[in-house]
């Protein structure tokens, strides 16, 4: 008896938390993914900004294979040389003096929040625990980070929201200053809002926040989980604004597909996180950090960030041209480097589906924005190819509505 070609799909045994499409991928190569049916897709999503080096990169495969032959995991009660080495590299390349490794972005933000609160606790100011955050932001899905993000849709139905967060519309320094009170301990912001709609903060706003923090004795926490690790053409997006944070959450690109995250801090702030204050079973294990070391070496190698900056400009040019060609359908162009997006008229979910039928993978963001997060190794030709597909999908939409 032969097996039917398309057996009736079994009911999924997984939580229904994602509106999944039935499409499955079997393998990836560079900026392309191949479905189980053997169809080729151009990947402008990168697993939401994770696959920074594309798929199947030789260097990180080698690092993973070599480490997997030796040792996968030991407890953080032992010294882990792979983690020490990666932390040294991060410290050398950033504002930070110390690193805590996590498995995800939300955990990195959680660590940032705990570190800020504990810093003031240690200064005998436990009444300072409130964090000013921003509307349109996304910081993760744990109970702490949904409170930090403040998106009502993510908070509702999950019991009392963790207290200690105030949300202000980004861009308004006066409003931020007015929100500062006796209880305020920090300001938390994504330098480029990802999920919220690719809203890049301007330089003056970022330096204004730094000044407010200095003037009012607050800590500046950056969530660079999505916009960091080379995504905008600098190693971290804060470098564009000429300021430095006190604490920063990192993830997504740091493991380029292996679950890894990190919370970075200055020596002064990290000093309060002594034994017993925080921990993670897996965070920074040998396997994850072996990959992390290969990723950071690749991203900080000569010419890599310059390539991201240049291709980011090409992407921006294509978006601008498209907005000129379809002024009624492409309403705005946003973002920075290879973290970009276009606010469009077609309903975003439908349009992402339509692009998929043209074999281009993108993801939606808030405010009906089509989000582009291609692997950082993307070429100008790949971008040209993607925009042919986007034009075709816009033509489809136009012919359907006229």
Ligand X SMILES: *Cc1c(COP(=O)(O)O)cnc(C)c1O
Stretch of residues binding ligand X (CB under 6 A), selected from 222-230, 270-278, 326-334, 368-376: 222-230
Helix, strand and coil content of the chain, in percent to the nearest 5, comes to 40, 20, 40
The residues, any chain, with a CB within 8 Å of residue 17's CB and separated by 6 or more, are: none
> Among residues 137 and 311, whose Cβ is nearest to ligand X?
137
Closest C-alpha to 155, from 168, 136, 142: 142
Stretch of residues binding ligand X (CB under 6 A), selected from 189-197, 314-322, 354-362, 363-371: 189-197
Binding of residue 106 to ligand X (CB under 6 A): yes
Nearest distance in Å: CB 108, ligand X: 7
Nearest distance in Å: CB 138, ligand X: 5
β-bridge partners, 189: 222
> Among residues 28 and 194, whose Cβ is nearest to ligand X?
194
Q: Which of 46, 151, 226, 354 binds ligand X (CB under 6 A)?
A: 226
Query: What is the spatial distance between Cα 362 and Cα 348, in angstroms, rounded to a whole number?
Result: 10
> Among residues 140 and 283, whose Cβ is nearest to ligand X?
140
Query: What is the spatial distance between Cα 140 and Cα 156, in angstroms, rounded to a whole number?
Result: 15
> Among residues 223 and 246, whose Cβ is nearest to ligand X?
223
Instruction: Name the pairing type of β-strands 261-265 and 247-250.
Output: antiparallel
Binding of residue 194 to ligand X (CB under 6 A): yes
Structure tokens at 83: 């983690």
Stretch of residues binding ligand X (CB under 6 A), selected from 102-110, 151-159, 285-293, 295-303: 102-110
Structure tokens at 134: 């921003």
Binding of residue 109 to ligand X (CB under 6 A): yes
The residues, any chain, with a CB within 8 Å of residue 38's CB and separated by 6 or more, are: none
Query: Which residue has 């994770």 as its token pair?
Result: 50
Query: What is the spatial distance between Cα 340 and Cα 266, in angstroms, rounded to a whole number?
Result: 30
Site string for ligand X, 12-41 (x = CB under 6 A): ------------------------------
The residues, any chain, with a CB within 8 Å of residue 43's CB and separated by 6 or more, are: 28, 31, 32, 33, 51, 54, 55, 361, 374, 375
Binding of residue 186 to ligand X (CB under 6 A): no
Q: Which of 110, 130, 190, 246 binds ligand X (CB under 6 A)?
A: 190
Answer for the pair 397, 346: CB distance below 8 angstroms, yes or no. yes
Report the 10 Å Cβ neighbour count for 89.
16
> Which helix or strand (DSSP H or E) is residue 34 part of?
strand 32-35
Dihedral angle at the C-alpha atoms of 341, 345, 349, 352, nearest 10 degrees?
Answer: -60
> Among residues 194 and 335, whose Cβ is nearest to ligand X?
194
Binding of residue 105 to ligand X (CB under 6 A): yes
DSSP state letters, 65-132? HHHHHH-----TTS--HHHHHHHHHHHHHSS-SEEEEESSHHHHHHHHHHHHHHHHHHTT-TT--EEE
Binding of residue 104 to ligand X (CB under 6 A): yes
Stretch of residues binding ligand X (CB under 6 A), selected from 87-95, 188-196, 214-222, 265-273: 188-196
Binding of residue 371 to ligand X (CB under 6 A): no
Nearest distance in Å: CB 259, ligand X: 8
Binding of residue 51 to ligand X (CB under 6 A): no
Dihedral angle at the C-alpha atoms of 179, 184, 188, 191, nearest 10 degrees?
Answer: 50
Binding of residue 189 to ligand X (CB under 6 A): no
Binding of residue 230 to ligand X (CB under 6 A): no
Q: Which of 110, 223, 246, 382 binds ligand X (CB under 6 A)?
A: 223
Binding of residue 260 to ligand X (CB under 6 A): no
> Among residues 258 and 397, whose Cβ is nearest to ligand X?
258
Residue 66, judged by CB atoms within 10 A of its CB (0-12, 13-18, 19+), counts as exposed
Stretch of residues binding ligand X (CB under 6 A), selected from 9-17, 88-96, 100-108, 359-367: 100-108
Task: Select the residue whose beta carbon is closest to ligand X and give its number.
Answer: 105
Site string for ligand X, 140-169 (x = CB under 6 A): x-----------------------------
Binding of residue 138 to ligand X (CB under 6 A): yes
Structure tokens at 74: 């030991």
**Total residue count of the chain as it appears in this document:** 402
Stretch of residues binding ligand X (CB under 6 A), selected from 137-145, 198-206, 277-285, 355-363: 137-145
Answer for the pair 334, 341: CB distance below 8 angstroms, yes or no. yes
Instruction: List residues near ligand X by CB under 6 A.
Output: 104-106, 109, 138-140, 190, 194-195, 223, 225-226, 251
């Amino acid at each position: 008896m032969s097996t039917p070609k398309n057996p009736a799909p079994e009911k999924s045994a997984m939580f229904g938390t994602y509106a999944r499409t039935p499409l499955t991928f079997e393998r990836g190569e560079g900026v392309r993914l191949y479905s189980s049916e053997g169809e080729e897709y151009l990947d402008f999503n990168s697993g939401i900004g994770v696959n920074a080096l594309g798929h199947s990169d030789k260097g990180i495969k080698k690092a993973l294979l070599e480490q997997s032959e030796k040792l996968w995991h030991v407890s953080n009660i032992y010294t882990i040389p792979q983690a020490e080495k990666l932390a040294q590299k991060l410290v050398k390349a950033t504002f930070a003096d110390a690193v805590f490794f996590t498995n995800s972005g939300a955990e990195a933000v959680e660590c940032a929040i705990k570190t800020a609160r504990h810093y003031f606790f240690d200064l005998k100011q436990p009444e300072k625990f409130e964090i000013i955050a921003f509307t349109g932001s996304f910081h993760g899905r744990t109970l702490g980070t949904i409170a930090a993000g403040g998106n009502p849709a993510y908070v509702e139905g999950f019991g009392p929201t963790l207290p200690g967060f105030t949300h202000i519309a980004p861009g308004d320094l006066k409003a931020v200053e007015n929100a500062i009170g006796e209880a305020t301990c920090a300001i938390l912001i994504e330098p480029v809002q990802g999920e919220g709609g690719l809203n890049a903060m301007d330089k003056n706003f970022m330096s204004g926040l730094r000044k407010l923090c200095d003037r009012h004795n607050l800590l500046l926490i950056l969530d660079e989980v999505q916009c960091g690790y080379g995504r905008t053409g600098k190693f971290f997006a804060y470098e564009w604004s000429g300021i430095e944070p006190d604490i920063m959450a990192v993830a997504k690109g740091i493991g380029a597909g292996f679950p890894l995250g990190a919370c970075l801090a200055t020596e002064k702030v990290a000093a309060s996180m002594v034994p017993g204050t925080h921990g993670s079973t897996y965070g920074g294990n040998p396997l994850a950090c072996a990959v992390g070391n290969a990723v950071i070496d690749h991203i900080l190698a000569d010419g890599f960030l310059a390539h991201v900056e240049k291709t980011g400009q090409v992407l921006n040019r294509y978006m601008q041209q498209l907005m000129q060609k379809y002024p009624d359908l492409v309403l705005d162009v946003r973002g920075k480097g290879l973290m970009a997006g276009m606010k469009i008229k077609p309903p975003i979910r439908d349009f992402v589906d339509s692009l998929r039928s043209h074999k281009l993978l993108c993801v939606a963001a808030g405010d009906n924005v089509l989000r582009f997060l291609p692997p950082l190794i993307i070429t100008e030709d790949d971008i040209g190819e993607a925009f042919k597909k986007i034009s075709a999908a816009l033509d489809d939409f136009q012919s359907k509505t006229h």
